[in-house]
């Protein structure tokens, strides 16, 4: 039997201070509203819009595990910090000589363990990353058989590569969540084999922005091609996330519900 149904909350890319504040405030409310026992967030843009730091993660105390992506080393101090943070995962298909870990499993307080794997795509991404498909194959061999819930954050640009990963891992993991493009896609689904997937969860960042950055700055860069700082939009925050329901005893996904909520610090959701 599948046993109890548990719920997991996953946030898309958290952008800047505004994103951190929104996650800190809204997480307890979403935990209660959707009866979520475990929370994961992609935090690779949480520090000033590019990279992450120990201090940026501490501002989101309701999150159980943080994942990363191609901006993981944008903040130089994080190279020294990451090994001292037990609940942060960097892309597993980067060089093994880099600090940090690419996957781990964590205790769900209500029962069972949750394995979280961070992967980065190669199409239109950094050439230095190893094949994510071969990497995840090896990781799955290492996960204890007692760990039933397996979550994959696939941080990738190409829709085709994300869909390919979801099909590759169908029936082998609980969920494959795409991140990186900051735009929530309309393809959330659960396969007949019990694997949930969405091409991109979206972001926690400025709604009136271009992927969390100032529209004026981004337009200037596109129009004239000159280097310029892309200011992070810290207000009018939209929170994109998904709620995953799965069987505790089998790890099979039951449902996947996308969320896109405008954050208002003065109102409850």
Q: Looking at 71, 155, 180, 182, which residue is catalytic?
A: 71
User: What Å distances lie between residue 243 and 81, 93, 260, CA to CA?
Assistant: 30, 26, 11
Give CA 38 to chain center in angstroms.
Answer: 13
Contact 232, 212 (CB under 8 A): yes
CA distance 201 to 178: 6
Quote the tokens at residue 227.
């280097």
71 noted as active-site residue: yes
Output DSSP code: residue 59: T
Query: 153, 179 in Cβ contact below 8 A?
Result: yes
Q: Identify the three-state secondary structure at position 208.
A: coil
Distance CA 152, CA 173 (A): 8
Place of tokens 């926690």: 204
Residues 6+ apart with CB under 8 A from 266: none
Point out the residues that are catalytic. Answer: 71
């Amino acid at each position: 039997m599948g046993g109890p149904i548990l719920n997991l909350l996953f946030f898309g890319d958290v952008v800047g201070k505004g994103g951190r504040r929104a996650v800190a405030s809204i997480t307890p409310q979403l935990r209660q509203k959707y009866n979520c026992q475990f929370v994961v967030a992609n935090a690779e843009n949480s520090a000033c819009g590019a990279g992450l730091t120990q201090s940026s993660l501490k501002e989101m105390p309701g999150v159980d595990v943080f994942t990363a992506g191609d901006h993981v080393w944008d903040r130089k101090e994080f190279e020294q910090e990451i090994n001292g943070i037990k609940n942060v995962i960097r892309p597993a298909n980067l060089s093994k000589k880099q600090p940090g870990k690419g996957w781990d499993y964590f205790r769900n307080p209500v029962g069972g363990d949750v394995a979280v794997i961070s992967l980065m795509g190669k199409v239109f991404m950094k050439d230095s990353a190893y094949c994510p498909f071969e990497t995840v194959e090896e990781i799955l061999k290492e996960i204890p058989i007692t760990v039933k819930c397996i979550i994959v954050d696939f941080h990738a640009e190409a829709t085709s590569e994300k869909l390919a990963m979801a099909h590759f891992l169908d029936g082998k993991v609980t969920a494959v969540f795409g991140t990186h493009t900051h735009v929530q896609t309309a393809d959330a689904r659960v396969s007949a084999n019990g694997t949930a997937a969405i091409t991109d969860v979206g972001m926690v960042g400025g709604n009136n922005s271009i992927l969390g950055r100032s529209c004026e700055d981004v337009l200037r860069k596109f129009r004239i091609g000159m280097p310029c700082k892309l200011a992070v939009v810290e207000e009018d925050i939209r929170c994109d996330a998904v709620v995953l329901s799965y069987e505790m005893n089998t790890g099979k996904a039951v449902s996947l519900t996308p969320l896109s909520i405008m954050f208002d610090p003065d109102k409850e959701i």
